[in-house]
Structure 1
Amino acid sequence: MTQMIRWGVLGCAGIAIKAVIPAIQSSRSGRVTAIASRDPKRAEETAAAFGIAKAYGSYETLLADADIDAIYNPLPNHLDVPLTIKALEQGKPVLCEKPIALSAGEAMTLAAAQKAANLPVAEAFIARHHPQWKKAQALVAEGWIGEARVIQTIFSYYLDDPRNVRNQANIGGGGTVRRRMLRRQHGALPVQCRTLAGDRADGTRPRLRYGPPRERTARASRGPAARLHLLDAAHPFFSGLDDAIANMKAIDALFRSATTGRWEAP
Structure 2
Amino acid sequence: MKPVKWGIISTANIGMAKVIPGMLKSKELDVVAISSRDKKTAEAAAKKLGIKQAYGSYEEMLADPDIEAVYNPLPNHLHVPLTLAAVKAGKHVLCEKPIAITAKEAKKLKKVPKGIYVAEAFMVRHALQWQAVRARIEKGEIGTLRLMQVFFSYYLDDPKNVRNIAKIGGGGLLDIGCYPITVARYIFDAEPKAVTAVFDRDPKFKTDRAASGLADFGKGRQLSFAISTQTAPFQRVQIAGTKGRIEVEIPFNAPPDKPNRYFVQGMAMNEGKTYELPVSDQYQLQAEAFGRVIRKDKKAAYGIKDAIQNMKIIDAFFRSEKSRKWEEV
Q: How does 1:164-175 map to 2 (within 5 A)?
A: 164-173=161-170, 174=172, 175=175
Paired letter, 2:133: A
Aligned to 1:239: 302
Task: Provide the C-alpha distance between the structure 2 equivalents of 1:216 and 1:122, rounded to a whole number of angstroms.
Answer: 27
* Structure 1 residues 247 and 35: alpha-carbon distance in aligned structure 2, compared to 1, 3 A threshold: same
RMSD between superposed Cα atoms in Å: 2.1
Task: Return the match for 1:211 from 205, 218, 242.
Answer: 218
Is 2:189 the counterpart of 1:187? yes
Q: Following superposition of structure 1 onto structure 2, how do residues 61-80 of structure 1 map, counting pairs within 5 Å?
A: 61-80=60-79
Within-5 A mapping of 1:111-122: 112-114=110-112, 116=113, 118-122=115-119
Q: Matched residues in 2 for 1:105 and 1:11: separation?
A: 25
Q: Aligned partners of 2:17, 2:72: CA distance in 1, in Å? A: 15
Matched AA of 1:70: A
**By how many angstroms is 1:24 displaced?**
2.9
Rounded to whole Å, the distance in 1 between the matches of 2:12 and 2:45 is 10
After TM superposition, the score normalised by the length of structure 2 is 0.69
Give the corresponding residue for 2:243.
Answer: none
SS at match of 2:155: coil
- The one-letter code sitting in structure 1 at the alignment partner of 2:320 is S
Contact 1:88–1:117 under 8 Å retained in 2: no
Distance in structure 2 (CA, Å) of the matches to 1:186 and 1:205: 19
CA displacement, residues 142-184 of structure 1 (integer Å, 9 cap, x when unaligned): 3222333322211111211121112222211233122222232
SS in 2 for 1:65: coil
Task: For structure 2, list consecutive stretches of 5 or more residues without a partner in the other structure.
Answer: 202-206, 229-300
CA positional deviation for 1:71 = 0.9
**Equivalent AA in structure 2 for residue 13 of structure 1:** A
- Cα distance in 1, alignment partners of residues 17 and 321 from structure 2: 36
User: d(CA) in 2 for partners of 1:89 and 1:108?
Assistant: 16
1:251 aligns with 2:314: yes
- Scaled by the length of structure 1, the TM-score of the pair is 0.84
Kindly state the Cα deviation for residue 81 of structure 1 after the two structures are TM-superposed: 0.8
- The aligned residue for residue 59 of structure 2 is 60
Please give the secondary structure, in 1, of the residue aligned with 2:85: helix
Kindly provide the CA deviation profile for residues 11-51 of structure 1, in whole angstroms up to 9, marking residues without a partner as x: 11122222332333332232222111112211011112223
Q: Whole-Å Cα distance in 2 between the matches of residues 95 and 210 of structure 1?
A: 28
- Describe the shift of the 1:210–1:97 C-alpha distance in structure 2 as closer, same or farther (beyond 3 A): closer
Contact 1:201–1:258 (Cα < 8 Å) also in 2: no
Query: For residue 321 of structure 2, what is the amino acid of its counterpart?
Result: A
- Alignment correspondent of 1:155: 152
Deviations 1:209-254 (A, max 9, x none): 3435xx343211346xxxxxxxxxxxxxx73222211110011111
Aligned partners of 2:159 and 2:52: how far apart in 1? 35
1:86 CA displacement = 0.4
Assess if the C-alpha contact under 8 Å between 1:98 and 1:125 holds in 2: yes
2: distance between equivalents of 1:94 and 1:8? 10
Structure 1: any 5+ residue segments left out of the alignment? Answer: 224-237
Counterparts of 2:82 and 2:47, CA distance in 1: 24
Shift of residue 138 of structure 1? 2.4
Higher normalized contact order (CA 8 Å, seq sep 6+, divided by chain length): 2
Shift in Å, 1:202 = 6.8
Match of 2:225 in 1: 220
SS in 2 for 1:150: strand
Give the superposition deviation at 1:129: 1.5
Does the CA contact (< 8 Å) of 2:7 and 2:32 recur in 1? yes
Q: Which amino acid aligns with 1:11?
A: S
| Contact kept in structure 1, 2:103 and 2:315, CA below 8 Å | yes
Distance 2:212 2:143 in 1: 24
Is the contact between residue 6 and residue 69 of structure 1 (CA under 8 Å) also seen in structure 2? yes
Counterpart of 1:155 in 2: which secondary structure?
A: strand
Q: Structure 2: how far apart are the matches of 1:158 and 1:202?
A: 9
| More strand by percentage | 2
Cα distance in 2, alignment partners of residues 129 and 258 from structure 1 = 31
The one-letter code sitting in structure 2 at the alignment partner of 1:60 is E
Whole-Å Cα distance in 1 between the matches of residues 9 and 217 of structure 2?
40
Aligned length: 247
CA deviations on 1:34-88 (whole Å, 9 max, x unpaired) are: 1111122110111122232221111111111122221111111111111011011
